[in-house]
Structure 1
Amino acid sequence: MAIGVLSLLGFQLVDSAFVARLGTAPLAAQSYTFPLSFLIIGVQVGMGIAIAALISRALGGGEDDRAQRLGSLSLMMGTVAIGLLALVLWALQSPIFGALGADAHARELIRAYWAPQLVAAWLGAVVYFGYSLFRAHGNTSFPGSMMVLTSLVNLCLDPILIFGIGNWDGLGLPGAAWATVLAFGSGLALLGWQLKGRHWLAFEGLREEWRLSGRSFAGVACPAMVSQLMPPLAAMLAISTVSRLGESAVAAWGLASRLETVSLMVVLALTMSLPPWLGRCYGAGDWAQVHRLMRLALKVVVVWQLMLGVSLALASPWVARALAGTPEVSESLMVLMRFMLPSYAALGVCMLVVSAGNALGWPMRAMLLSAARLFVFYLPCLWLGVTLMGGVTGLGLGAGVGNLLAGIGAYLLLRRTLSRPKRSGKGEMQGS
């Protein structure tokens, strides 16, 4: 999963690096769309968490037939939900991007890019739900391999569709979105072919299964989606603050957002692969194994992220020049990297605790932790940094301090919760 996540997020970073070669204005326009793209991803990840958690619990309890029905219901509901969300975001694009601070020229660039980008986001969500089904059954090799394959397809198509080939001038900024559409479309075709040979889906008894499991699914999915939707909301508030610092700062912030997801590849891989394992332990009542898994995962996250963050911060002058299209954007990105990248060790702890909470029957607690991370720690520190210090330096320092405080809070909550797991989990699941 780590290899798959690296390839998937790596192509998104390279995608932005290609767009940066078009100029600061197209890169800034793409950066304005990131919060809404994260909104779609938040919904799909929240539903994916519920899919993996409920199916893995059913398998852990020996309910294979129920797991098949849950798989079918989840794929159908997820496909429809993301499609409706994409339509709403298309219809409301003008007021949303205007509220985010995009000027008339940026909105004109966004308009040509946004339609294919929404199609790509919908296809990516459907593929992601299929990956969740594989992970719930303990198969991470196929999702990881598919992430690598779709990333390579996108990487090959990006320069052709953006810049053109031969006498064809290319599509410019929309070409980046169309490359992703073709990449995820090929992934969806291969996913359907793989699912045909497996007995993981059932189409009988779905109505009855929905009556039995709908509340449980909502009890996990709704808090998980709220948890995942809060980062896009925070990103919208953050970019509205960043837009006051100018177009170069917005472009640098967009690149830093892409770099953040790539640098968190191990954390994201753990949040995808660990919950099904934890869910099976939850279904079997094996809390000793839960303790061992969480201790190991936290150690891996802290050590890896500190090593990677410090290394990239030291290499920031060269990395920033390679990614940015202009010296102004490069300088701003370098400052952001030095302050933010080392703090992702603490951010990774928080993300891991939230993911584990959804798998172990504490969805409300996970949701509240996500809210605290963003609206108690991250955004206030971001605002204070910009207000007290000003410029990109205050922006980066505020983000770094917010991540650190969130990680400390998450660790303290995890220790308290695991000291009495059965009582906490039972009460919360009944409440859900």
Structure 2
Amino acid sequence: MNQDFMRTKPILPLVLSMALPMMLSMLINSLYNIVDSMFVARLGEQALTAVSLVYPLQTLIVSIGVGFGVGINAAVAFFMGAGEKEKADRAASQGLFLSLVHGILLSVGTVICIPYFLPMFTADNLILAWGKEYAVIVLSFSVVVTVQIAFEKIYQSTGNMFVPMVCMAAGSITNIILDPVFIFGLGPVPRLEVKGAAIATAIGQVVTLLLYLIWYFKKDMGLSIKRTYMKPTADICRRVYMVGVPCSMTMGLPSLLITILNGFAAAFSPIYILILGVYFKLQSFIYLPANGIVQGMRPILSYNYGADERKRMKRIIQICGAMILAIMAVGMLLFLVFSGSIMKMFTVDAVTVREGALALRIISFGFVVSGVSVVCSGALEALGKGFASFLISLLRYLALIVPAAYLGIRIAGVIGIWTAFPAAEALTAVASVIIFVICYKKK
């Protein structure tokens, strides 16, 4: 397969052809997150709180998988752009093998941590029981998650966005269909409640991986994944981990942020943990399409970087940036106008609806400006500047928002948590532009 179209095709049609499939699949994936929470919420607020407490660990696993996958993506696309096909094959093969190892370690490590993690946030026995039941199942399938993400990034590095779109969408749709079957018990399936939600999630992930495997063995992907190439080598691992490690750390920061904010919220009331859980599921509906554009941008930018097409690189960043800012503006309007109606999808409690709607409106003021950081971070990863990208995310998810939330609580109570989001996003946007300009000029 010839990937030179990434250097020669007009930029806007190229970006759209690469980004739209990922945007669609991520919209479906974020819809699953929302629908899954809606079904669990019908079991009661305690059930939704239990799932919300496990969510940071699920996010951590996906973050590590995606972060390392971005390293694979950048390395393969760079070698392809530079015309070094064998090195691209080796990068894909080694990346797939190492993703398998990462998944096994994550499965074991997170399951061991569960009995110590959940009691940090609640003493409610029912929440703890449901949380442990849900966590053990979903976290045991971490290896499936990391391997399927590796396949996704390898396909994207060749410019093939269709296969990841189909595989991801199929898994999410399977999950949505099976949720009510296993949660409430339909036909021969018994009512499994929270455990049923976990089983539906696991089956959806397996479906995605199986489709990747079928597609790989049935049709040429433009790369050769060989067992003889899977033995890790220093040069390939260095290039992959130089992007993958900081990117994994970057994507793992939201998990740490959610954990810290859950601790802050727990000091006021369990309903604020539920509100945070709902928000982080809802915000994926906004940020995942934006990240779909970033995923479409990365291989194009890496390829043109390898081909030394500097003017084209700048235009790619400009077009993708405009698209992301437009998505974030739409998201802000939705949260401002429909916040009350959105919260009513998850609870009938009037207090929770009122407090949740207020939180969504305040947080949404940071959406548009956050698009600047998303663009800069994604572009730096494509250029191999993983640690610069990590620095932006460190500011966004930890160094600025946590102190802002802590001070906000002292001044305005729980509202201080919500106001910390837009404040941190504005400051991070300024810093990200400075970091990006410095790194881009050096490159």
Please, what TM-score do these two structures have when normalized by structure 2? 0.90
Aligned pairs (5 A) from 1:10-409: 10-101=31-122, 103-166=124-187, 169-196=190-217, 197-198=219-220, 200-203=223-226, 205-206=228-229, 210-391=233-414, 393-409=415-431
In 2, the alpha carbon distance for the partners of 1:301 and 1:421 equals 25
Write the letter of the residue equivalent to 2:128.
R
Rate the CA distance shift 1:160–1:281 in 2: closer, same or farther, 3 A. same
Rate the CA distance shift 1:39–1:258 in 2: closer, same or farther, 3 A. same
Equivalent residue in structure 1 for 2:435, among 409, 413, 421: 413
Which sits farther off after the overlay, 173-182 or 336-345? Answer: 336-345
Following superposition, the deviation at residue 405 of structure 1 comes to 1.9
In 2, the alpha carbon distance for the partners of 1:407 and 1:86 equals 35
Q: Determine if contact 2:107/2:141 at 8 Å carries over to the other structure.
A: no
In 2, the alpha carbon distance for the partners of 1:324 and 1:400 equals 25
In 1, the alpha carbon distance for the partners of 2:33 and 2:431 equals 31
In 2, the alpha carbon distance for the partners of 1:168 and 1:229 equals 36
* SS in structure 1 of the partner of residue 192 of structure 2: coil
* SS in structure 2 of the partner of residue 92 of structure 1: helix
Q: Determine if contact 2:74/2:240 at 8 Å carries over to the other structure.
A: no
In 2, the alpha carbon distance for the partners of 1:10 and 1:121 equals 21
Following superposition, the deviation at residue 275 of structure 1 comes to 0.9
Q: Determine if contact 2:111/2:140 at 8 Å carries over to the other structure.
A: no
Please give the per-residue CA displacement for 1:109-146, whole angstroms capped at 9, x wherever unaligned.
11111121113443232211111111000001111122
Rate the CA distance shift 1:241–1:69 in 2: closer, same or farther, 3 A. same
Unmatched segments (≥5 aa) in structure 1: 423-432
In 2, the alpha carbon distance for the partners of 1:170 and 1:68 equals 47
Which sits farther off after the overlay, 382-391 or 129-138? Answer: 382-391
Identity percentage of aligned residues: 21
Rate the CA distance shift 1:277–1:189 in 2: closer, same or farther, 3 A. same
Which sits farther off after the overlay, 295-304 or 171-180? Answer: 295-304
Please give the per-residue CA displacement for 1:337-357, whole angstroms capped at 9, x wherever unaligned.
101123122223212212211
* SS in structure 2 of the partner of residue 45 of structure 1: helix
Following superposition, the deviation at residue 172 of structure 1 comes to 0.4
In 1, the alpha carbon distance for the partners of 2:265 and 2:190 equals 33
Following superposition, the deviation at residue 24 of structure 1 comes to 0.7
Please give the per-residue CA displacement for 1:63-107, whole angstroms capped at 9, x wherever unaligned.
112211211111111011122112111112111222344544322
* SS in structure 2 of the partner of residue 323 of structure 1: coil
In 2, the alpha carbon distance for the partners of 1:290 and 1:421 equals 14
Please give the per-residue CA displacement for 1:271-306, whole angstroms capped at 9, x wherever unaligned.
222111111011111121111111112222222211
Following superposition, the deviation at residue 395 of structure 1 comes to 2.1
Please give the per-residue CA displacement for 1:311-336, whole angstroms capped at 9, x wherever unaligned.
33111111111233533332222112
* SS in structure 2 of the partner of residue 156 of structure 1: helix
Rate the CA distance shift 1:170–1:275 in 2: closer, same or farther, 3 A. same
In 1, the alpha carbon distance for the partners of 2:347 and 2:376 equals 33
Following superposition, the deviation at residue 7 of structure 1 comes to 0.2
In 1, the alpha carbon distance for the partners of 2:224 and 2:122 equals 45
* SS in structure 2 of the partner of residue 307 of structure 1: helix
Write the letter of the residue equivalent to 1:314.
V
Q: Determine if contact 2:182/2:200 at 8 Å carries over to the other structure.
A: yes
Write the letter of the residue equivalent to 2:333.
V
Please give the per-residue CA displacement for 1:360-379, whole angstroms capped at 9, x wherever unaligned.
02112111121122223211
Rate the CA distance shift 1:83–1:207 in 2: closer, same or farther, 3 A. closer
Please give the per-residue CA displacement for 1:163-221, whole angstroms capped at 9, x wherever unaligned.
11258651101111111111111121111011112252332652676133122222222
Q: Determine if contact 1:226/1:367 at 8 Å carries over to the other structure.
A: yes
Write the letter of the residue equivalent to 2:92.
G
Which sits farther off after the overlay, 103-112 or 247-256? Answer: 103-112
Write the letter of the residue equivalent to 1:409.
A
In 1, the alpha carbon distance for the partners of 2:384 and 2:188 equals 58
Q: Determine if contact 1:378/1:406 at 8 Å carries over to the other structure.
A: no
In 1, the alpha carbon distance for the partners of 2:282 and 2:195 equals 21
Please give the per-residue CA displacement for 1:368-426, whole angstroms capped at 9, x wherever unaligned.
121122223211222222221112x33212222222222232123323433x142xxxx
Rate the CA distance shift 1:168–1:326 in 2: closer, same or farther, 3 A. farther
In 2, the alpha carbon distance for the partners of 1:189 and 1:166 equals 26
In 2, the alpha carbon distance for the partners of 1:304 and 1:185 equals 30
In 1, the alpha carbon distance for the partners of 2:291 and 2:175 equals 20
Please, what TM-score do these two structures have when normalized by structure 1? 0.92
Which sits farther off after the overlay, 330-339 or 273-282? Answer: 330-339
What's the RMSD between the two structures over aligned residues? 1.9
* SS in structure 2 of the partner of residue 314 of structure 1: helix
* SS in structure 1 of the partner of residue 214 of structure 2: helix
In 2, the alpha carbon distance for the partners of 1:383 and 1:187 equals 40
